[in-house]
Every structure is written in structure tokens, then in C-alpha cells.
Structure 1
Amino acid sequence: MVNEISIQDDFVFGSVMSNKRLCQHLIQLILPELKIEQIEFPTVQKTVQETQFSHGIRFDVYTKDQNGVVYEIDMQIRHTRGLPQRVRYYQGRLDGEMLKDGKKYATLRQSYVIFFICPFDPFSLGRHRYDFANYCQQDKSLALNDGRTAIFLNTKSTQNDVPKDLRNFLDYVDNKDVENDEYVDELKDYIQNLSKNTEWRNDYMDNRTHMMFHDEDVREEGKQLGIAIGEKRGIATGKMEAIQGTIDLLREAGLPEERLKTKVQQRFDLTNPQMQELFK
């Protein structure tokens, strides 16, 4: 199972970045121009929702440095639509977190949305990183200086456009072999030690199962796979094929068969005869 665990997984990434030293090292790696002496203990999977009617968000990793500068880091696996709009929304929510009642706008600190570490090129220009800040369209030398920066990191680039240590990290995220890099070796060892912990491993599999049940892209993949299975096996089309597709995906993910059966029956409220049909 150790070889199957990738830092691309949200749960794994959050577990690693909950280590204050490893998280600070990564931020400094991405922003070497800053002098980060210390950070708060990172908050993993931080949920922010202003009201019951507003769209809630969940930051993968959220922390501040000694000057109150805010850093939010996300691992984005799928190239979904609306990434720039998500940056806009995330930055607004970060501002709302920082600006409490009665405070002046000028008190807003610098914020960095490292959004995202992507195993794809979000803008198709072949770069390892894309940094965005606000500038005057008529005069690009005039910066708005509103304190907001958004950074996209692309693991697929082959350009020589970032320092070697950052490129090594991005190659590691992309599941490439990286040698003679102290930070990457630390990450590998940390994940390997996590994988030996039975409680963490169970939490990892539960999270992976939960994501497969709730992720729209995975549900669609399961549905399509289920239709193909239904055509091959003669199972009636509809709900059962979609469930069968999801079962096959969870098997590929390594979920033990007994836990898989329990999760599927609970999630889809299936009868015993339906379970026998699916697991015959």
C-alpha cells in the first residue's frame, strides 16, 4: 500500500502539511523572496461559511507567518472549470477571515493563495508557475498593491523556469523519481511512516471512500464504467450499474472487501438480495 499512497491525495497532502516544519519549508520553497521565520500550526481542511445560505469553502492548508501574512495551499487534481473564479472567491473569504468587525480595511494583511499545486497545466503555456496580482491595464507598471497574490503551480512543465529545489518538489508531486533532494526525502519518509500507522491508514481509506462517493467526476466515471459492465454482464441498466462501477473503482483504490460491502450497503441503502447481486 505504501507505493500507492501519493502526496497528490488531499488527505495525504493535508496530513503532511499538518507538520509545521514541512509546511513552512514548502511555503519558503515557493516564496524564497520572503523571510519566513515561523508559522502558526497549519489548520488542515479549514471550513469557512458565513451563513447557511452562502457557499462554504474548505481550505486544504491554512496558516499565518510571524507578520500575520496568510498562506492558503491547495492540491488540485482535476482540471475543472472555474479555477480563476475559485481564486476570487477564496481570496474574498480569506479577507473576511482577517477583517473582523470594527477593523479598518488598511489592516488587511498580505495573503497568498497557492492555488493550486496542479498535475496539469491550468493555462497551457508550459510554465511551472503562474503568479497573479492586480495591475492597471493601461500601465502595467502600476500595481494596485491590495496585498493579494494567487499562484498556480504546474507539475507537468519541462521548462527550466523555477529553482531546482522547487522543480524537484513538483516532480515528486507528479510521481516522478527524485533523488538527492533532502526535502523530498523527508516527505517520502514522513508518508512512509504515516502509512505504517493503522489508525491513519484506516482514516485514509475512509476519506478516499467518502471522496469517491461524493466527488462528481468520480461518480460520473463510476456511472460510465457501470454502464459498460451492465452491457457485458446483462445487469439491468440504471442505479445498479452506477453502483457496480463505483465498487470497481473502490476495489482499485485498495479498499478491503468487507469494508467495501459495508460502505456500499450503508451509502446506497441496499437490500441483502441487491448486495448478493452486486457481489456475486
Structure 2
Amino acid sequence: MSRPRLAFTNRWMFGRVMLDEPVCRQFIRCVLGIDVDRIDYLNAEQVLEPAVESRGVRMDVYAREGNRVYDIEMQCAPEPLLGRRFRYYQATLDMTTLAPGKDYDELCESFIVFLCTHDPFDLNLPVYTLERRCSEVPDLSIDCNSHWIALNAQAWDTLPDGVLRDLLHYTQNGSIGASSLVQRIDEIVAKANNDRKWVDKSVLLREHHRGERCPSCPHPGTPGSKKGTGGGTGRGSRAGTRRGARRGSCRGRKRGGGSLQFPGRTPFG
């Protein structure tokens, strides 16, 4: 009987890969155009020793660099409520980084990135940048210093050649390409799969949280199709009722250079 192998898109594997600091730095540079010198991981223990009894928000990658915090998530299943997940994760980040009694100007700049294997808004954009703005005066910035980004791996081929295109392509179908970042990611995935104790624990946790985010990840064949079908039907109907409103409120843009740009920052092509 063949042993299960975890792909990059498995949430535990994704977290383990991103614990490689050079990879995480390159990922942030590729996606956000930010050069990071050093990263402090705030959830390394839960990635290396995943536990069923974990409670609250289980962030895939939660890291700090200077006065910035990053939450980077792998999203394998279609999620009709992605906007609310962004909101919930944002609230968690803010409550975690601002101590009681501190002023709001001490809130860290925050970045929440969802790397999605499905198009979250069905507009065929590789990158959706979601910023809070004034409806009456769109150019008015409220300066909340928080940024939400959804990456759509399905639209990898709409990007020009570059690291982001290779990263999304690898996420979608495992194609390695020429990028040194993706090649390094694939090396870490292969090495981690040789850690059978960790893989087996991750597979058991995947079964425990069955259907939560990544139904394509390998797991033992156990009963549960009825529950899965019901959950899928419910999510599908919710998606249909919310899709139109979300299309109107979401603003996405396609990056010609393969990464996002924030003021004063250089993209990594």
C-alpha cells in the first residue's frame, strides 16, 4: 500500500515550506514587492507539531518583520465567504498585535494573503487587491494600514513570465518551471514527505478537519460522503446567492509585472 504524499497545497505542508526563511522572504518579495531582512515566526510550533486540540484561528503562516505582520494562507477549497474570512483574520491579527491600553497608531501594518487554487471571485484575475475605501470619494485613503490580497492560481497563464507566474503555476498543477523559488519549494516538499512521522500526523489531522479547506489533499478512505455532500451543497447555494454582490464590491487588478506594488516598494519579477 502506497504511503500518502502531501502536496504544496496541503495546509501543513505549506506552513512547513514557509518556515524556510529564505523561501518566505522571496515569497513576500514576489507577491508584495517588499524586501524583508529577517522574519520572526509566531506560529512555528503549531506547524512543526500540529495538534488536533488546537483552537481559534489556525494561521498557516503568521510572521512578523519590524512593524509589519504577515498572515499567509493556502486556500484549496472554493470559499464563498472569503471576504468574511479576511475580516475575521484581520480582527485576530489586530487583537494579537495591539496590547491593552496602547494607542491605535501602534497597530502594525498588516498583510493577509490567500493563495487560492480556485478563482475566489470568478473574474479570471491572477491577483485581487482588496482595500477599504470611501464609496463617495474613491481617492480618499482611510489609512488603516491593512492590506488584503487574494491570489488566483487558476489564472497563472494570464501573467507574463516571472516568479509570480511560476509560483501560481506550481500551486495549480505542480509544474516546477525555471524559478529558483519554486525549485526550492519543491525540494522542501520532497524532503518533508520523507519525514513519515510528520506526514502521518498531518494526514490524521487532515482527516480530523475533513472538508475544512483542502478536499484534494490525501487522506485515508473513511465514511463521510453524506456529510461531505451536504456541506458541498450548502456551500454551493451560498456561493450562488452571494456571488453577484461580491463581484460588485470586489476590486481586483491584474499586475503587468507579476507582483503587487505598494508606495515606495519594488516588485520582484
Q: 1:112 aligns to what SS in structure 2?
A: strand
In the TM superposition, 1:46-85 aligns within 5 A as 56-65=56-65, 67-85=66-84
Q: How many angstroms apart in 1 are the aligned matches of 2:156 and 2:106?
A: 40
Q: Structure 1: which 5+ residue stretches go unaligned?
A: 48-54, 227-280
Matched residue, 1:121? 119
Q: How many angstroms apart in 2 are the aligned matches of 1:22 and 1:206?
A: 27
Q: How many angstroms apart in 2 are the aligned matches of 1:177 and 1:166?
A: 13
Matched residue, 1:136? 134
Q: Deviations over 1:118-173 (max 9, x none)?
A: 11111111110101112221222211111011000000015544661011001101
Q: How many angstroms apart in 2 are the aligned matches of 1:41 and 1:158?
A: 28
Give the partner amino acid of 1:81: P
- For the aligned residue pairs, the C-alpha RMSD in angstroms reads 2.9
Q: Compared with structure 1, are the counterparts of its residues 215 and 135 closer, same or farther at alpha carbon in structure 2 (3 Å cutoff)? A: closer
Q: How many angstroms apart in 1 are the aligned matches of 2:124 and 2:136?
A: 27
In the TM superposition, 1:197-208 aligns within 5 A as 197-208=195-206
Give the partner amino acid of 2:195: N
Q: Does 1:222 align with 2:220?
A: no
Q: 1:93 aligns to what SS in structure 2?
A: helix
Give the partner amino acid of 1:75: M
Q: Does 1:38 align with 2:41?
A: no
- Quote how far apart the aligned CAs of 1:207 are: 2.4
Give the partner amino acid of 2:43: T
Q: TM-score, normalised by structure 2?
A: 0.71
Q: Compared with structure 1, are the counterparts of its residues 225 and 59 closer, same or farther at alpha carbon in structure 2 (3 Å cutoff)? A: closer
Q: Compared with structure 1, are the counterparts of its residues 216 and 156 closer, same or farther at alpha carbon in structure 2 (3 Å cutoff)? A: closer
Q: 1:59 aligns to what SS in structure 2?
A: coil
1 or 2, which has the higher helix percentage?
1
Q: 1:174 aligns to what SS in structure 2?
A: helix
Q: Does 1:96 align with 2:99?
A: no
In the TM superposition, 1:1-280 aligns within 5 A as 4-32=5-33, 34-41=34-41, 43-44=43-44, 56-65=56-65, 67-114=66-113, 116-158=114-156, 160-161=158-159, 164-212=162-210, 215=212, 222-223=225-226
Query: Could you tell me whether the CA contact under 8 Å between 2:5 and 2:193 is conserved in 1?
Result: no
Larger radius of gyration between Structure 1 and Structure 2: 1
Matched residue, 2:245? none
Q: How many angstroms apart in 1 are the aligned matches of 2:194 and 2:6?
A: 12
Q: How many angstroms apart in 1 are the aligned matches of 2:81 and 2:129?
A: 17
Q: 2:71 aligns to what SS in structure 1?
A: strand
- Quote how far apart the aligned CAs of 1:175 are: 1.6
Q: 1:152 aligns to what SS in structure 2?
A: strand
Matched residue, 1:270? none
Q: How many angstroms apart in 2 are the aligned matches of 1:207 and 1:2?
A: 16
Higher relative contact order (CA 8 A, sep 6+): 2
Query: Could you tell me whether the CA contact under 8 Å between 1:44 and 1:60 is conserved in 2?
Result: no
Q: Structure 2: which 5+ residue stretches go unaligned?
A: 48-54, 216-221, 230-269
- Quote how far apart the aligned CAs of 1:2 are: 8.5
Query: Could you tell me whether the CA contact under 8 Å between 2:156 and 2:169 is conserved in 1?
Result: no
Q: How many angstroms apart in 1 are the aligned matches of 2:23 and 2:59?
A: 18
Give the partner amino acid of 2:132: N
